Amino acid sequence: MERVHTKEMLPLLDSRHMRNFILALLIFIPSLALAQQSPLYTQYMLNDFVINPAIAGSKPFFPLRLNAREQWEGLGSFAPSTQSLSFHAPVGDGRVGVGGLIFQDNTHPTSNMGAMFTYAYHMNLPAIESKISLGISGVIYQYKLDQTAMEFYNPDMNFEGGVYSETVPDAAFGTYLYGQNYYVGLSVYQLFESTFREALTFDYGDNIGVRHYFGMAGYTAEINKRLHLEPSILLKTIDAGPMQLDINTRVIFNRKFWTGISLRTDRSVVALMGMNVGNFHLAYGFDYTLASIANHTAGSHEISIGVNIPDPRSRRHVYYWRY
């Protein structure tokens, strides 16, 4: 799900295509913004709570994560950027998990800010030494369109400059099956398909938020006591939209350090590396696209910093995804 922007990309086009390019942007900016209402995360496997509410409370610690992503370096102010802060933890005997997420996704001249509040319920499956959970989130989205950042070379295409904003509620739902060396999850975001006012779509009609679907699975194989191999996949799609598949592999050393690679069907290759030392978490991902936009960008960068806060009641974690 690639993102397209306006002002600084105009010089990349010759004058013959300028009018058609602007018209296409005006028609498709709403759908492009909607396709990105769920921010893009390359290192989702290190903070999977952001794409599945059922994961809240599933860890044997309280993960606090700050993520930052700069996409398509080299496109100036029109390079998309995403920041998020998340936290989740078990409550009581571990059957209930709660969590929260705040995020900002800039796709200049549009932006999307939001907050998510999550409740999850976990049930033991002793016969298979696993747990299964169901989670639901209430989400608040605030969408903005900054017309002052847009420049038009055709007088017929001018708009009154202004910043338009819309705040809407929505929801997410997920389920998660997990044990000590595997997980499988399904989730859907933007359940309500909230409608935005016409001001955000240049009077081309109402803008309807489309549902986002995520399917994820992973497994950790012990090569020896110091070396583990973790393959995983993530399937992403939207209603009436394209499907995207991430195929990932991490090599974990001493349960502390890792490196890996991810291949994405949008013709991207991702290098992964990171560490969990003590209670400190640090990870970095570099995306390089093989698509045509590669001629104008030096790739994308994503960093994750966090703390794994120890759970003083660790015995409530009978089965959990260890890594």
Question: How confident is residue 166, by pLDDT bands cut at 50, 70 and 90?
Answer: confident
Fold of 7-316: Porin (2.40.160)
pLDDT at 43 over 70: yes
What would the pLDDT profile of 275-300 be if each residue is shown by its tens digit? 999 999 999 999 887 766 556 566 78
Per-residue pLDDT, 54: 98
For the ranges 79-83, 152-156, 195-199, 259-263, the one whose mean pLDDT is highest: 259-263
Confidence grade of residue 7 (pLDDT, cut at 50, 70, 90): very low
pLDDT of residue 29: 41
Residue holding tokens 């800039």? 106
- Structure-token pair, residue 296: 């104008």
- CA-nearest of 65, 133, 60 to 321 is 60
Within 10 A of 9 (CB to CB), how many other CB atoms are there? Answer: 16
Residue 261, pLDDT > 60, answer: yes
Instruction: Tell me the pLDDT tens digit for each residue of 21-39.
Output: 333 343 334 434 334 456 6
* High-pLDDT (> 70) share of the chain, %: 71
**Is the model's pLDDT at 323 over the cut of 60?**
no
107 contacts: CB under 8 Å, gap ≥ 6: 3, 5, 32, 33, 36, 80
Question: What does the pLDDT read at residue 295?
Answer: 60
Q: What pLDDT, on the 0 to 100 scale, is given for residue 76?
A: 61
| Single-letter residue type at 133 | S
pLDDT in tens, 93-136: 889 999 999 999 887 777 788 999 999 999 999 999 999 999 99
Greater pLDDT, 293 or 230: 230
Query: pLDDT tens digit string along 183-226?
Result: 999 999 999 887 765 444 444 445 667 889 999 999 999 999 99
pLDDT band with cut points at 50, 70 and 90 for residue 53: very high
**pLDDT tens, 264-275?**
988 889 999 999
Across 33-42, 44-53, 72-81, 152-161, the highest mean pLDDT is recorded for 44-53
Q: What angle do CA 110, 116, 121 make, to 5 degrees?
A: 150
pLDDT, residue 63, reads: 94
Give yes or no for residue 87 having a pLDDT over 70: yes
| Residue ranges covered by each domain of the chain | 7-316
Partners of 285 in the β-ladder: 272, 302
For the record, the structure tokens of 290 come out as 């093989």
Q: What is the arithmetic mean of pLDDT over 226-246?
A: 91
Residue 242 has a CB neighbour count (10 Å cut-off) of 11
Residue 88 has pLDDT above 60, yes or no: yes
Q: Which residues neighbour 97 within 8 Å (Cβ) at sequence distance 6 or greater?
A: 55, 56, 57, 58, 88, 89, 90, 91, 118, 119, 120, 121, 122, 133, 135
Instruction: Tell me the pLDDT of the chain averaged across its residues.
Output: 79
